[in-house]
Amino acid sequence: MELTLDRLTREFGPKIAVDRVSATLGPGVYGLLGANGAGKTTLMRMVCGVLRPTSGEVRYDGAPVARMGDEYRALLGYLPQDFGYYPEFTALDFMEYMAALKGLGRRDARDRSLALLERVGLGGEERRRIRTFSGGMRQRLGIAQAVLNDPEVLVLDEPTAGLDPKERVRFRNLIAGFARDKIVLLSTHIVSDVEHIADEILVMRAGSVVLSGPPAGLVAEAEGRVWEAVIPAEQAEALEAALTVGNVRHLEGGRALLRYVADEPRVPGSAPAEPTLEDLYLYVFRDGAAGAGSPRAARGSHFKEGRHG
């Protein structure tokens, strides 16, 4: 089981949303991190075959998915961002409808639908119309439909959007449960969603994957670039504007503990701190760049080029 992204590119007019992204994904959980507009959703749409690449291709076990058609889609589970639903359908209607679209038999569809609704915490709500659901409930319904066909490739675009902290934890456990022997690609701009469950992280910026690797390996990239300094509390606001600040914790006696990322210490008295994935994320996006697409002349630079170039 192997999903290959081969120089995937998608242009919208003069904008390049995804720029020659290549990756080979085996079974495991892949966290796609990036700011809004980095190209995550466009990349995922191409992986799911709902958006044709301008160039490049997606292959599943060596076969181009565009040619596999229904055969590939039968292996796929997809929760898009801004998941669309039919307001007058009940949760069970929707699940059974999706089951019919995924080719499940009638009885199997009913059994799996009820079991999955139970599993995502919607047991007892199956006869309620979706339009009466909260955002979090809809999102859980979306997750349930994505795994109805027990997919080999599960693509989840911003699956934690709209979930409260408790639901986020439940979601992480759900994904961990579903992910066994599957290729799971999930995008988020919230680092904590993926740092504990992802086997590998892909960081996107301006349409390109600028960094990839296991979370622990990536964190090491930020070694020596995370600093902490105790400052007078009244300076905190000014320093937040000037530096890439990860956290400000106010201490007793009018002082504050400032945590920031930078190549060199920028505040007197700074001491190196233990980096986290969030620090790395902040470091990668410290320029606040990564708009939705960029002219070809200004392609997103690779992390290492950014550091050394």
User: From the list 6, 20, 56, 89, which residue makes contact with another protein (rule: CB under 8 A)?
Assistant: 89
In whole angstroms, the minimum distance from the beta carbon of 123 to another protein comes to 22
Using DSSP, state whether 256 is helix, strand or coil.
Answer: strand
For residues 189 and 32, what is the distance between their CA atoms, to the nearest angstrom?
8
Strand partners for 154: 77, 184
The residue behind tokens 């995008």 is 187
Our finding on whether 26 is near another protein (CB under 8 A) is no
> Of 95 and 280, which CB lies nearer to another protein in the complex structure?
95
Contacts of 86 (CB under 8 A, 6+ apart): 93, 94, 97, 130
Does 303 interact with another protein (rule: CB under 8 A)? no
CB of 39 to another protein, least distance (A): 13
CB of 87 to another protein, least distance (A): 8
**Minimum CB–partner distance for residue 186 and another protein (Å):** 15
State the Cα–Cα distance between residues 174 and 38, nearest whole angstrom: 26
Residues 6+ apart with CB under 8 A from 60: 2, 3, 4, 68, 72, 75, 153
- Of 228, 218, 236, the C-alpha closest to 278 is 218
Q: Is 106 in the site for another protein (CB under 8 A)?
A: yes
Binding mask 189-228 for another protein (x = CB under 8 A): ----------------------------------------
149 counts as binding another protein under rule CB under 8 A: yes
Residue 171 to residues 16, 45, 215: CA-CA distances in angstroms? 32, 22, 19
Considering only 4, 139, 145, 188, the residue that binds another protein (CB under 8 A) is 145
Q: What is the smallest separation between the CB atom of 102 and another protein, expressed in angstroms?
A: 5
Residue type, 174: L
Please, which residue, 13 or 124, has the CB nearer to another protein? 13
Binding footprint of another protein on the chain (CB under 8 A): 12, 42, 45, 48-52, 69-70, 73-74, 76, 78-80, 82-86, 88-89, 93, 96-98, 100-103, 106, 142, 145, 149, 155
